[in-house]
Structure 1
Amino acid sequence: MEAHFMNDLFPSLWMSPSGLGSLFSGPDLSGISDEPLRVSSVHHATTIEIREEGVEASATTVVTHTRSISHFSVNSPFLFALVDDATLVPFFMGVITNPVPMMVP
């Protein structure tokens, strides 16, 4: 026998009365940052695979938050890095070689 179950819990997390709805509308996140933060999205997914060899289960939760940022225009190639504020360690670095203007609706 083999079975595979997958569930995306995103809507049920923030839509339920006891869920995370307050995180999206004026939360107090002062315990994790001195800067004003807000949660932009929460995504939780689970997977269970049942096989003759055994069972494998996994769960993933992603919470993203945003800070106030300045808008800027880029019209030439550039390098960028996402850096941890406390340790100054870069988490991700990249190069944009041909920036294209963004279409604004």
Structure 2
Amino acid sequence: MTQIVSSSAVKQQIAMTLLMAPSQPSHFLEKQPAFPSPKKNNFLPFKDKLELIRKCEAGIVHSVVALQMGVPRSTVSIIWKNRDKYHETAASCKCFY
């Protein structure tokens, strides 16, 4: 037995299906950049850099200093490598010693 369905009934059913279907969030419709945005650099104050150098001079391992200060170990290594520049700057200011 075949049922004959009017076109208005089909249109109503399609409309109800579209209303009930979850819509995609708008961010899916926006064009996404090809590359993710670069990581934001964190700023370490000069006093903290001097404190970091003092800890390294005291013989604390770089990885431990990094954990204590909340920075990557590579940052500790770079600051340690440039410690002479930081000492010169601090000596010229005389407000950090």
TM-score greater than 0.5 by the shorter chain: no
Higher relative contact order by CA 8 Å / sep ≥ 6: 1 or 2? 1
Structure number having the greater helix percentage: 2
Q: Flag the structure with larger Rg.
A: 2
* Structure richer in strand, relative to its length: 1
